[in-house]
Every structure is written in structure tokens, then in C-alpha cells.
């Protein structure tokens, strides 16, 4: 899988999981969205997202990268790191 394809897959996964946890349509979760601006985003839902992402990936996401993610794009980068793909 190319770097772009893997990043696209990470983006799709993050958007899907965030939308599922927050009970939103996927098109309501933009890649440049700030988590603080998403309805229902709180620390409990953040942990739910982390658990679901790790379950889907089959391996842990770096907690520091996850915790410092302020946008969907930041989280995509953290997920891409797990799958061995650097963002950008």
C-alpha cells in the first residue's frame, strides 16, 4: 500500500470511528475539524475513540500522539504512525 493510500485509509478509519462514537454522519467530521468543536466530544468519548481505533488496527496507538491530537488530521497522523506510514 502506498503512503498516500495508507494515509487515506487512516483518514477514513478515524472519521468513521469519530462519527460512530459521537453519533454523527461521517460527512459531519471534517479532516480539519477541531475536536473541541465537535458536538459531544469529551474525555470519555476520546477514550472510546482510542479503544475502537486500537481494536480496528490490532495494535496500540501512541498515547502521547493521541492525547496531543487537537484535530482529526492530528489523529490521522497518529494512526498512520501505527501502520508505519508517516503523515505528509
- Placement of cell 502506498 in the chain: 2
Q: How many domains does the chain have?
A: 1
88 within some domain: no
Write down the H helix ranges in 58-88: 63-67, 72-82
Please tell me the pTM assigned to this model. Answer: 0.88
Kindly state the average pLDDT of the residues 18-46.
97
12 within some domain: yes
Q: What percent of the chain has pLDDT over 90?
A: 81
Instruction: Look up the domain containing 44 and give its range.
Output: 3-82
21 within some domain: yes
Q: What is the CATH number of the domain that holds 62?
A: 1.10.1200.10
Gap between the Cα atoms of 33 and 83, Å rounded: 22
Per-residue confidence (pLDDT) for residue 68, from 0 to 100:
96
Gap between the Cα atoms of 39 and 62, Å rounded: 25
Amino acid at each position: 500500500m502506498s503512503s498516500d493510500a495508507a494515509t487515506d485509509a487512516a483518514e477514513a478509519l478515524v472519521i468513521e470511528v469519530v462519527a460512530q462514537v459521537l453519533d454523527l454522519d461521517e460527512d459531519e467530521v471534517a479532516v480539519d475539524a477541531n475536536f473541541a468543536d465537535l458536538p459531544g466530544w469529551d474525555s470519555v468519548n476520546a477514550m472510546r475513540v482510542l479503544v475502537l481505533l486500537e481494536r480496528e488496527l490490532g495494535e496500540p496507538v501512541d498515547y502521547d500522539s493521541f492525547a496531543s491530537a487537537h484535530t482529526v488530521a492530528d489523529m490521522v497522523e497518529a494512526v498512520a504512525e501505527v501502520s508505519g506510514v508517516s503523515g505528509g
